[in-house]
Homo-oligomer: A and B are copies of this chain.
Amino acid sequence: MSNSTSKSIENNYDALELITEEVLKRYGDTPNPRLRELMLSLIKHIHGFAKEVKLTAEEWAFTMSFLEETGKWCSPGRNEFMIFSDALGLSMLTITQDYPRPAHATEPTLVGPFLMEDAPQFPMGANISGGAAGTPMHAQGQVLDIHGKPVANAVIDVWHSDDRGLYDVQDDFEEKGAWARAALTTGADGRYSFWSVLPVDYPVPQDGTAIQMLKATTGRSWRPAHLHFRIQAPGQRPLVTHIFDKNSKNLDGDAVFGVRPSLIADFVHQAPGKAPDGQTMTRDFYTLDYNFVMTDPIK
């Protein structure tokens, strides 16, 4: 555009400020104070973003289609929006900021998109693999409170990938149902144990929209091998975390920024022989020992 044309063009910057002011004023009417605080901050930041980058109508239209497309990838056991939240660091930021804890309590990490409520219940020591392919793995440990006392009646949800790097919900879930997914309840000793298969490194789901973003941006779409845990117990704040395999090659580049050094553990390779539960194994297997330390609810 020539300078002379520019002079005759309204750049609409005054109007832009008026739009933001009008929107903020309107949402200032929100009756609930917390919701009002959230909305006003959200609007300031969304408008701030659009102005800072001078978002174009074309980019806006792409974003609207992309959000709609993202919705189509959601299904029971998979929330594609969560993968975006995870991949943009929002999940880890929220969890870190909202989980004040003594230094020796277990660190939380993100829940990820594949948690399901009402997982199959198993007795302690059971094999929860449900036929999932992979090298056998025995996991055990104790759920402790912040004072080191065992936590009874803790419900432990555990879920993880098979040796293809897939979860049950990415498989033929309607046909096969849940596998490598369980709810276990601790007794008075707070102890847990189960058999399953060793999880492996895997990429963010390859068929959704989040992977499209990652491929076009960071190029990092892999997650280090891990077990997911959610532990809920009376009088304790729920703990959602992972245990990562220290032998993973992707500990430094987790696509979703979930790794914390304190959550990296040794999945120990074992030759055929006696397992921790007394069983004799005829093939190689892995063992894991990990204790969880819960925190009291914030008063």
Contacts and interface: CB of A to CB of B under 8 A. Distances in A.
Contacts of A74: 68, 71-72
Interface residues of A, number: 82
Interface string A217-238: 1111000000000000000000
B41 A94 contact: no
Nearest to A95: B57
A26 B218 CA distance: 6
Contacts of A217: 27, 29-30, 35-36, 39
Residue in A9, A10, A27, A97 whose Cβ sees the most chain B Cβ within 10 Å: A97
Interface stretch (A43-51, A133-141, A150-158): A43-51
A81 B68 contact: yes
- Sorted nearest first, the 8 A-B pairs with minimum C-beta distance are A71-B71, A23-B89, A67-B81, A45-B45, A45-B49, A30-B217, A9-B100, A60-B94
A89 to B, nearest CB: 3
A80 B37 CA distance: 23
A22 B71 CA distance: 28
A14 to B, nearest CB: 10
A11 interface: yes
Interface of A: 1, 8-13, 15-16, 19-20, 22-23, 26-27, 29-32, 35-39, 41-57, 59-61, 64-65, 67-68, 70-72, 74, 79-82, 85, 88-103, 111, 216-220, 257, 298-299
A102 B55 contact: no
Given A8-B103, A29-B219, A47-B89, 5 more contacts: A26-B218, A30-B218, A39-B217, A46-B88, A64-B85
Tell me the number of copies of this protein.
Answer: 2
A81 B64 CA distance: 6
Contacts of A11: 100
A61 B38 CA distance: 14
Contacts of A298: 1
A257 B90 CA distance: 29
A60 B45 contact: no
Contacts of A94: 50, 55-57, 60
